[in-house]
Amino acid sequence: MPDLSQVERAAAAARERGDREELFGPGHAYASLVRASYSAICGSMAPFDINLLFNQTADPSDPRSAFRKDYGALLGPGMNLIMPTAAAYLCSPGKNRVFLPAATDHTLAAYLQRVGFLGEVVYHDGEASMMAEIRRTGRRLYSIDDLGPDADELTVNTYHAMALCNSKDRVGDLSGYAAPEVHKNMFEVGEADFEAARRPGRKVYLKTCNTENAGEGVFPCDSTEEFLAELEGIRRRTRQYELNPILVIQPEIVGQNKSFQIFLRPQEPDRIPVVALTDQLVDPDGKKYRGSLNHVVTTERTLPVAPVILDLVERIYALCPGAFGFVMCDYFEQDDGTIVTFDPGLRPSSNTGAAMVKLWVEEMAGQPAGVTNSPWFDFGEPGMTYDEIVRRLGPYADPDHIVAHRLGVVPRGHNPIQGKTRFIIVTPTPDDYEPFRADLEQRIIH
């Protein structure tokens, strides 16, 4: 590792400039919303080890496999290795550890250590070995997913908090801006419920309530026939695995698909860092996430969503006073400016790593940057290590070059089995993303 971690370098740059956190003036109704700082958030995370692997399973004997499918089963071998790497942008090297799956490409971790993002890594071969290591050290684990009710003494957020704040049937409890929806026992749902939710030219969404992820548990329906077919499949799985029978029925909301992220620190409930304000890139099926365009967090951009954020924070603290860490919330901004929330959660999102990289660049450079959590780069070379990608990237993989030019990439995650990489792409502005991506593809793939 370099003499100073990226956290230390960013903090020093911010101190030298005298950066200010305020978004709104003293006494303003939204004064508690402040600009997030990469080094400050990493500092808040420093007492805890970090795990960003979803607690998924491909084991048919495990009831959770019905709604916690392994990413490898969903997207192909090695895809479960992608999300955990983002923990590198949340940690304080030398102060806390990051847990990564044993099959992670070690050259990827070595690169992140070499350039000062990542400190000590603990490779594990499953939840049991990870929790055994946490018990051995007596540390607490900050995790993206609940680890069951028996792990509360080892985790930062309790099972109760994670289950409550990440379940689709509790959106109305968490947000006063929640999308209109009906909650009903799925075995009492019928064709009349589809007709009641239907709007001309729009889909009806069925959502199961088992804290699914990656679009699992969300079923968009265009017709009565599709609705009844999806309903039958949902009922079959629910009976087989004795799952939560509550079903959410939601009319499709039309508007700009957006998201915000904030960071909760119970010790400072009146200072709420705004981590990200994004446009969501979603596949045509309306549920699969492709990436995010991260905007500069300004007073003007924060203002429309400020009451929504404060309402969400107030409700989370009322339900879970000790809630800590990243809170994400997807929402639609409709043409008339109305905001409708549909997926809040006490967890990092797929975009959190990119949002933290944006904060890092801006803290280091002292000026805005465009940062995009990009779709896949497929090298078509199974077995490719990240070292080879770094060689092809040249200066674009060098943090000093990235900061100086606000241009380059760091890994969102790498799948060495298939030879696929997801980059966090830094450009001077979001408008520069598409041409730079095209240039990257020519340089490192073609």
Write the pLDDT tens digit of every residue in 111-125. Answer: 999 999 999 999 998
Closest to 219 in 3D by CA, of 271, 170, 168, 179: 168
Q: Is the pLDDT of residue 20 over 50?
A: yes
The per-residue pLDDT for 1 is 45
What pLDDT, in 10s, does the model give residues 381-396?
Answer: 999 999 999 999 999 9
Q: How far is CA 294 from the centre of its chain?
A: 13
Residue 75 burial by Cβ neighbours in a 10 Å radius (0-12, 13-18, 19+): middle
Q: Are the beta carbons of 25 and 31 closer than 8 angstroms?
A: yes
pLDDT at 147: 86
Is the per-residue pLDDT at 356 higher than 80? yes
The region, left, alpha or beta by phi > 0 then psi within -120 to 50, assigned to residue 419 is left
Q: What is the pLDDT of residue 283?
A: 66
pLDDT band at 398 (very low <50, low <70, confident <90, very high): very high
**φ, ψ for residue 290 (rounded to 5)?**
-105, -30
* Confidence at residue 321, expressed as pLDDT on a 0 to 100 scale: 96
Going by the DSSP 8-state scheme, the letter that residue 168 receives in this structure is: G
Task: Provide the 3-class DSSP secondary structure of residue 32.
Answer: coil
Residue 213 has pLDDT above 80, yes or no: no
pLDDT(287) > 60: no
Report the pLDDT averaged over residues 228-234.
Answer: 96
Question: pLDDT at residue 336 above 50?
Answer: yes
Q: Which domains does the chain have, with CATH numbers?
A: 180-251 (3.30.1490)
Interior angle at CA 316, CA 312 and CA 321, nearest 5: 145
User: How far is Cα 111 from Cα 102, in angstroms, rounded to an integer?
Assistant: 17
Predicted local confidence at residue 2, as pLDDT: 63
State the average pLDDT over residues 418-425: 95
Give the predicted TM-score (pTM) of the model: 0.91
Query: What is the percentage of the chain residues whose pLDDT exceeds 70?
Result: 93
State mean pLDDT over 344-349.
94
Task: State the average pLDDT over residues 280-303.
Answer: 79
pLDDT computed for residue 149 by the predictor: 86
**Residues whose CB falls within 8 Å of the CB of residue 383, separated by 6 or more in sequence, listed in order:** 416, 417, 419
Cβ contacts of 333 within 8 Å, gap of 6 or more: 255, 256, 258, 304, 339
User: What pLDDT does residue 59 have?
Assistant: 65
Q: Which amino acid is at 175?
A: S
Residue 99's contacts (CB-CB under 8 Å, 6 or more residues apart) are 49, 50, 51, 53, 84, 87, 121, 122, 123, 124, 130, 133, 141
Q: What confidence category does residue 417 fall into, taking pLDDT thresholds of 50, 70 and 90?
A: very high
Which region, left, alpha or beta, applies to residue 196 given φ > 0 means left and ψ of -120 to 50 means alpha? alpha
Q: What percent of the chain has pLDDT over 90?
A: 76
Residues 319-330, mean pLDDT to the nearest whole number: 97
Lowest-pLDDT range of 130-134, 153-157, 370-374, 382-386: 370-374
Q: ∠101-102-108 over CA atoms, to 5°?
A: 80
Which sign does the torsion angle of CA 209, 210, 215, 220 carry?
negative
pLDDT tier at 243 (50, 70, 90 boundaries)? confident
Mean pLDDT of the chain: 92
pLDDT at 286: 58
In this predicted structure, what is the pLDDT of residue 289? 62
Q: pLDDT tens, 34-77? A: 999 999 999 999 999 999 987 666 666 666 677 766 777 778 89
DSSP state of 149: G
